[in-house]
Chains A and B, each alone.
Chain A
Amino acid sequence: MVFNSIEFVIFLPIVVLLFYLLPQKARWLMLLVASCVFYMWFVPKYILILLVTIIIDYSAGILMEKHADEPKKKKTFLVISVVSTLLVLFIFKYLGFINDNFVWLCQKLGLDVRTSVNIILPIGLSFHTFQSMSYVIEVYRGHQKAERHFGYYSLYVMFFPQLVTGPIERPGNLLRQLHEYKDFRYENISKGMRLILFGLFIKMVVADHLGAYVDEVYANPAEYNSWSVMLAMAFYSFQIYCDFFGYSTIALGSAKLMGFDISDNFRTPYLAKNIAEFWHRWHISLSTWFRDYVYFPLGGSRVKFGRWAFNILVVFVLSGIWHGAAWTFLFWGFAHGLLHILEKALRNRFPYKEPNSKWLGISLDALRIAKTFVLVTLFWVMFRATDFANMRDIFVAAVTNFGGGQSLAVKPEVWLYLALFILSDLLLFNTRFDAWCEGKPMVVRWLIYALLIFLVIACSSVNSFPFIYFQF
């Protein structure tokens, strides 16, 4: 079930209503059933994969706690749990990729190998496996008590608002809240509705309209002039942001309706002044996951520059592969890592000094924001391209076709939607839409709601663009 579907429009109010009508002891069961229904709406049989990872990690948690005084045994259970979870991820996500590369290599070596692997990636696999792993690691580290109630643990992995594209939750936040009694509060309904409305606006009105132009250009870059290709590249930056931010915001809102606070995933990332800051603001739940479970164990930043650079590259390459089983994703992660290292090296060599003039400071900040946006946009080409050839075609078309090719005919209203979004992003710097609305007079608030409702219903794209992060 996707958030911008009629099924979800019917499903969510029923779940919320039942949640408040049922006594606390029955709520987990209702939410678990609802989450199963939500997930099985896509491909029912894939719930079995979820069940396998849930059983393994649930058991591992209890066994680790039971053998808390036996480090070797404890570690063995951790390794079994992590390896088996990663194995599931490997089989469903990476086996086909590895097989294709193996076949390609064999053919290059003149060997006649024709194996093929056709496995459809279960939706949201990378998200819930990472969420499951974070639980096991937290229990291993002693930061989290093992969950004894199988139902609550299953619900922690499967909680429908964030099941398929995150945010990747930690047990310390979500599992704890699942046990708490949630009273009906108008405030939660109001905040939840605001977030859902805003999320729908940025997904359905902004991202999906832009997506149509992006798809057009990426399918035939050579047919467009360089300005149009560059415009499509910039549009993709906004498309992927609005698409993912939109989903995360609806997830936040859906959980909030029932009183659950799940983690923020974005904080105006395109206002970042450098790549490091960008990753503090983009897909925060994934960045912090890699930070806590990969980067810190590798030594983090408290090591020599060379080792630190290696740590950074490992994290970013893993992050790239996490997104998709393709060389373009790996390359994308590597490029981000490399830029991160380069920026740090430059900062070390030429430390930034705050200018004396306020306006000069603002201008410099604007330039740095623009520079980061341009670089991120260039990197998104690797992310969006279907393969290296497509990536090359885009870059070539962007710099060699100024004279010829057709222009991308963007409807005026799409510029308006984009402008509205950019304005909202500026207004929401370091805050959230629900909180931002709080301080506004009622008339202003309701005018904003009315505008958003109208835009979502009457001006949304009618093309069916699945959420981009569903594929991960």
Chain B
Amino acid sequence: MKKLLIRIGIIAVLLVAMNWVYTKWFFEKDLLEHSDIIELPRQVVADSCQVVYLGESSNNTYGYAESDHRKISAMVSAYFPKVRVGDMTKSASHAQTYYTMLKQVPKDAPVETVIVTMNLRSFDAGWIYSRLETALRKQIVLLQDYPPLMNRFLLAFKAYPIRSEEEWDAIARKHWKKDPLDFPYDFEWNNTHQWDSAMAWGGWHGFDGQRDQQLTELACHYIKSYAFQIRDDNPRIKDFDAIVDLCRERGWHLVFNLMAENVDKANELVGKDLLFLMKQNRDYLMQRYDTQEDVTVVNNLDLVRDVNFIDQDWTTEHYYGEGRHIIAHQVAQALRQYYPNEYQDLGLLQYEAGHYCFEGSEDELNVERPYSQTLILPADSLQPDWGMVNIAVEMLQPDTLNDAQIVIEKNGEQGKTSTYYDLGPQIQSIGKWEFATFALPIDSTFREAGQIKFFVYNPSTSSVRVRRFDISFRPAYLKPAVKAQSSR
């Protein structure tokens, strides 16, 4: 036994010496080869950035035909010309990756504020157990808090989950079957799997009543991406909590940038139950983090319209310039609290053709003043390829006694016809700004009318407030004709 202990002692000494040799001559090469994300924090430090934006492909993806290739982080930077803003962007990354990257920023770096992308889908089993996880987790092994040789040992002995694509998929499927969906009202399906199967079996039927296989698959994908409920034991929550702790320890301001999801399409394809879960999860995150000192959550969830999403056949958060700009504007408003003097007003956002948005002021609607700002369009201004209109209203109600609704009024030679869309089923919370969205087909009655009006109408004595009214026209179904590109 004594012999053995002496040997163990010799091995310990050898390991210390080896760690020195490895750190001095091998570690840097390994870092660059196996953990190239290290270059991101290094770049941020080299650029002496005060504000660091951490994101995935949502930050640097732009439409194929777009001339403006700016990242969201670059657009944020435009609001603060005197503040040095940098980014750490890595596709498919999530809170654990962000945490690892942030840990690499030296304590004496001039970073003051950290903006971390909070992607709702990243809390779903499909992303937590994504096929890309093996590669992502492998990337962070060398960056752990152990001596370099220990990290290399862990990398060599595969101390990260190595699973085949099929194995990752199987874990996600297991969660979709196992994790319950608890609605506060009667709902037919108990879990994501049941809901997804029901959609796949029943199919998605268009306005013509025909089953559309492509959209059925997309609807199923939306269910798998968003039909979940974030609970305290969600692995991402642990990671975001760690980011909060790290920022607190380093004295950094923290802004979580909750990304916009395509709520229009979610509503159009699946319906209000899916929106309910998306909003419930958003509320959970707001409640958990926005209430903490020196942590701000920017809520973009339903701010970006369908027409601004590049990938029309997937749930990715890839936005056209207008969408990126909306998010950058929101983030800039949150940053203003930390850099009030450096903020530069860039004016109201400019929207693309076919997209109309009333924002910046609030309308209080009640029986005495029941009409909101109105969009009036001559019917002949409708482009021939427009087949759908997405309408979104952001509204706050003090109670649920109002009769708020969206009205589409068509005035033509044959008189006036109005269609009403009740906001009640979608906006049920009280005292909180909430979005309601509608996707409607542009049928012949639109084109035959001389003039079309869109407005919010509340003839009730119970007031509501409206602060954003957004109307966007688009083709009947946006096929993925253009592909997203990444600027990296």
Query: A residues touching B (Cβ–Cβ < 8 Å)?
Result: 4-6, 9, 186, 189-190, 204, 446, 449-450, 453-454, 456-460, 462, 464
Contacts and interface: CB of A to CB of B under 8 A. Distances in A.
B22 A4 contact: no
B22 A6 contact: no
Contacts of A454: 18, 21-22
B157 interface: yes
Given A6-B154, A186-B3, A462-B138, A457 B18 contact: yes
Contact of A457 (B3, B4, B156): B156
Chain B: interface secondary structure? helix
Contact of A4 (B21, B138, B157): B157
Max chain B CB contacts within 10 Å: which of A5, A6, A459? A6
Contact of A446 (B1, B10, B15, B138): B10
Max chain B CB contacts within 10 Å: which of A5, A190, A457? A457
Contacts of B156: 4, 204, 456-458, 460, 462
Contacts of B1: 186
Given A186-B3, A186-B4, A458 B149 contact: yes
A9 B154 CA distance: 10
Max chain B CB contacts within 10 Å: which of A6, A460, A462? A462
A190 B34 CA distance: 33
B157 A5 contact: yes
Max chain B CB contacts within 10 Å: which of A453, A458, A459, A462? A458
Nearest to B13: A450
Given A6-B154, A9-B157, A464-B158, 9 more contacts: A204-B156, A446-B10, A449-B14, A453-B14, A454-B21, A457-B149, A457-B153, A457-B156, A462-B34
A462 B18 contact: no
B128 interface: no
Interface in B407-453: none
A337 to B, nearest CB: 35
A189 B34 CA distance: 34
B152 A457 contact: yes
A4 B157 CA distance: 6
A440 to B, nearest CB: 15
B2 to A, nearest CB: 9
Contacts, number: 50
B65 interface: no
B198 interface: no
A453 B12 CA distance: 12
Contacts of A5: 157-158
A44 to B, nearest CB: 13
Contacts of A457: 18, 22, 149, 152-153, 156
Contacts of B159: 6
Given A458-B26, A460-B156, A464-B158, A450 B3 contact: no
Nearest to B26: A458
B349 interface: no
B162 interface: yes
21 contacts: A4-B156, A4-B157, A186-B3, A186-B4, A189-B4, A190-B7, A204-B156, A446-B10, A450-B14, A450-B18, A453-B18, A457-B18, A457-B149, A457-B156, A458-B26, A458-B152, A458-B156, A459-B26, A462-B138, A462-B155, A464-B158
Contacts of B22: 454, 457-458
A464 to B, nearest CB: 5
Contacts of B7: 190
A6 B144 CA distance: 16
A186 B5 CA distance: 11
A453 B149 CA distance: 11
B395 to A, nearest CB: 52
B102 to A, nearest CB: 24
B22 to A, nearest CB: 5
A204 B153 CA distance: 12
A459 B26 CA distance: 9
Contacts of B10: 446
Interface in B460-484: none
A373 B260 CA distance: 62
A384 B159 CA distance: 28
A88 B373 CA distance: 76
Interface string B153-196: 11111110010000000000000000000000000000000000
A189 B5 CA distance: 12
Contacts of A462: 34, 138, 155-156
A452 to B, nearest CB: 11
A320 B63 CA distance: 54
Nearest to A8: B157
A6 B159 CA distance: 6
A259 B15 CA distance: 27
A464 B162 contact: yes
Max chain A CB contacts within 10 Å: which of B21, B30, B153, B156? B156
Contacts of B158: 4-6, 464
A62 to B, nearest CB: 40
Interface in B1-48: 1, 3-4, 7, 10-11, 14-15, 18, 21-22, 26, 30, 34
Nearest to B158: A5
A278 B57 CA distance: 54
Nearest to B22: A458
Nearest to B15: A453
B12 to A, nearest CB: 12
A9 B150 CA distance: 13
Contacts of A464: 158, 162
A411 to B, nearest CB: 11
B152 to A, nearest CB: 5
B127 to A, nearest CB: 22
A459 B27 CA distance: 11
Contacts of A189: 4
A458 B30 CA distance: 9
Max chain A CB contacts within 10 Å: which of B21, B22, B34, B158? B158
Contacts of B34: 462
B392 to A, nearest CB: 46
Nearest to A450: B14
Nearest to A9: B157
Which 3 residue pairs spanning A and B have beta carbons closest together? A6-B159, A460-B156, A6-B157
Nearest to B149: A457
A7 to B, nearest CB: 9
B147 to A, nearest CB: 11
A9 B159 CA distance: 10
